[in-house]
Homo-oligomer: A and B are copies of this chain.
Amino acid sequence: MTDFPFEIAATDGQARTGVLKTTRGEIRTPAFMPVGTAATVKALYMDQVRDAGSDIILGNTYHLMLRPGAERVKRLGGLHAFSGWSGPMLTDSGGFQVWSLANLRKLTEDGVTFQSHVDGSSHALTPERSIEIQADLLGSDIVMQLDECTPFPCPKDAARESMELSLRWGKRSKTAFGERDSQTLFGIVQGSVFEDLRRESAERLVETGFGGYAIGGLAVGEGFETMCEVLDFTTPLLPADRPRYLMGVGKPVDLVEAIARGVDMFDCVLPTRSGRHGQAWTDEGPINLKNARFAEDQSPLNEHINCPASRDYSKAYIHHLIRCGEYLGSMLLSWHNIAYYQDLMARMRAAIANGTFEGFRKDFRSGLRES
């Protein structure tokens, strides 16, 4: 196992900023990873993703194993060459998407079998197969163990059973991963909202030993306050010298509060998905560009963000494009939202480095519109 060097340059309360040094490049933390589900960050060119300030993107094992197929990606040179993203890449295990298939999947101790949402064909995913797909075929830099995402709400007995299955899959993942240069494996803490389960999950994962630790099973319906409470007791359980990754989160305010609790990495489809649906993110919250009040608003989305989509197009023009269902509307809003997220991360990294993060957090919270 290669543990990528993780240098924490500054801390401010529980928040920390630093650099995770992968073979393919440095990741400034806290880091937001745009989601490149099917080997593309939807509606963006990869140079836009990078120039917006992204150091790493996420690829989805589930989608890629179905289309174009993991073996095919390998034959085409791996996911980096195939997608045109040369920087670091993290792949998920496929577990979360399969879990989302509900009654199209079947779980056993060995793994999970499921039917493709594309053509109904049958597939299997085991901890070993997920490692093979991610590490050998797609060739990602940061590989995630296969886990079961515990639903919310969940009785404690079931949450324990699920957490223990994820721990056993984590061990099998580590064995399958073996020794690798220039790739690392992250374990995933489960345990729903129960502190003792989260503690046991974290301790036993650390015993196994991973290059980084993810917090799974959040952002699945528990709500903002509960998520913060779970983070309150979960991040301190994770090794301070290893990156902490909160999976599938979230809104800007979620990032601010998770960073305040010591999280280093995030991924979420929200900036691109909401962009395709006409929403732009601002420090006041999301605005819907379809709204008639933008029809003659000549101001840009955000003149302070160094991104053409944020700076060089009027809200009136984007309003028109979204109203007409034009590609360019989705393209510009997705681009702006990724740039907004990365600008927010940069501001938070700077605040942590300057020891002013608490003030930033307070200002950010008070600047949000009531919603």
Residues of chain A at the chain B interface (Cβ within 8 Å): 38-40, 42-45, 63, 67-68, 72, 75-77, 82-84, 295-296, 298, 312-314, 316-317, 319-321, 323-324, 326-328, 330-331
Contacts and interface: CB of A to CB of B under 8 A. Distances in A.
A313 B39 contact: no
A317 B67 contact: no
Interface centre among A83, A296, A317 (most CB of B within 10 A): A317
Contacts of A323: 67-68
Contact of A40 (B39, B83, B321): B321
Given A38-B326, A40-B321, A75-B296, 15 more contacts: A38-B321, A38-B324, A39-B321, A40-B326, A40-B328, A42-B328, A43-B327, A43-B328, A44-B328, A63-B324, A67-B324, A68-B320, A68-B323, A82-B314, A331-B331
Given A312-B84, A324-B67, A317 B39 contact: yes
Contacts of A39: 317, 320-321
A67 B320 contact: yes
How many monomers of this chain does the complex have?
Answer: 2
A45 to B, nearest CB: 7
B313 A84 contact: yes
B326 A42 contact: yes
B84 A45 contact: no
A72 B296 contact: yes
A72 B295 contact: yes
Contacts of A83: 317
Nearest to A276: B327
12 contacts: A39-B320, A40-B326, A42-B326, A44-B328, A45-B331, A68-B316, A72-B296, A75-B296, A76-B314, A82-B316, A82-B320, A327-B331
B326 A84 contact: no
B296 A76 contact: yes
A202 to B, nearest CB: 37
A63 to B, nearest CB: 8
A324 to B, nearest CB: 5
A295 B68 contact: yes
Nearest to A309: B45
Given A68-B295, A84-B313, A320-B68, A327 B76 contact: no
Contacts of A82: 314, 316-317, 320
A110 B316 CA distance: 34
Given A72-B296, A295-B68, A331-B327, A84 B317 contact: yes
Contacts of A312: 84
A326 B316 CA distance: 26
A323 B295 CA distance: 35
A264 to B, nearest CB: 29
Contacts of A42: 326-328
Nearest to A69: B295
B45 A328 contact: yes
A156 to B, nearest CB: 40
